[in-house]
Amino acid sequence: MNDTEAMLQAIELAGRVRGTTAPNPWVGCVIEAPDGQVFVAATSPPGGPHAEAGALAAAGAAARGGTAWVTLEPCAHVGRTPPCADALIDAGIRRVVVAIEDPDEKVAGAGLRRLRDAGVEVVVGVEAQAVRLQLAPYIKHRTTGRPWVVLKLGVSIDGRTAAPDGSSRWITGGAARADAHQLRAISDAIVVGANTVRLDDPSLNVRHVDGADPLRVVLGRAAPDAKVQPALEFEGPLTDLLDQLGERGVLQVLVEGGATVAGDFHRGRLVDQYVLYVAPVIFGGDDAQPMFAGPGAPTIAEIWRGAFSAVVPLGADLRIDLVPALDGLAAGSVPLGRAAGAADEPITGSTPAVRADLSLPATDEPEEGT
């Protein structure tokens, strides 16, 4: 197995457990024994084995003299689990290939140094860009203290989110709605405005896919009997909210609206990734509700410019991902997790990944978002 093939397999393993590991990163590990046996694992939920420990447990004595491919630098500190660098050394791993160094100040190269000091051959940088994209929320959290912000909108071709009477069910189809729930499942928190709660009474939970409900955050006050409860009710600057969520270990926050909230996040330059579910429908007038409320860019020189990072057909709709055209993140898509229809074999040391049924049955349950 060559380095690229093995690292791509580790990246795929990591993607399967996206949304189950916060505040820890989602990491994949592949170990090849000298006799060619291959053992794999991904990060377990907090308190469980890290990817390296899971793969080593699966390999047992066969790991001695083998090679390990890991998407993120093995940890070198004691947390809820022992240091993975020490585990690799004690198991007799001969060679460790790492995609990127861990930006967490508790690691920051210490794991690599410990491996090298023990005589282990260390290679860094294989599929580094792919892993930086996959771990973008984790990297941002560890370098800024704030979560990765995803703004999700379901829109018509002419950029409208609801009819003049406020109705928006349904702009998009079942495949797009299922994908939106997968986006919820891999987010640690979800934010809406108090007006959306009053008008739509959304539950903001995860349906149609496997996954835990995110922390629900209301900008303002919500009635005690609102479906969104229990929720964190917040009043104040959005930057303070992001700081507080970061302190809670939230790696990714999903902003679902409405238009006032979307506009505030956008104008504040607080959005890291825009996810637009675009339906082939046209309202055909200026009285339908826009994507953003509030003032826009006053001149062409001041408009927001970004880059398409992914365009994916979802039934009759399109999912369009955009990121600010500021750095290397614009060079490719930000993987969200396990793709619908992926294989169902278990991952050693991990939990089942998010799965979506894209053919939603008809339902009378109110649906929020897209």
Q: Catalytic residue numbers? A: 52
Residue 186 has which token pair? 């891999």
Rounded Cα–Cα distance for residues 148 and 292 (Å): 20
In this structure, the strands spanning 189-193 and 215-219 are parallel
Residue 81 has which token pair? 């689990």
Q: What would the 3-class secondary structure string for 214-268 be? A: CEEEEECCCCCCCCCCCCEEECCCHHHHHHHHHHCCCCEEEEEECHHHHHHHHHC
Classified as helix, coil or strand, 359 is: coil
DSSP annotation of 308: E
- Ramachandran bin of 99, using left for φ above 0, alpha for ψ from -120 to 50, beta for the remaining angles: alpha
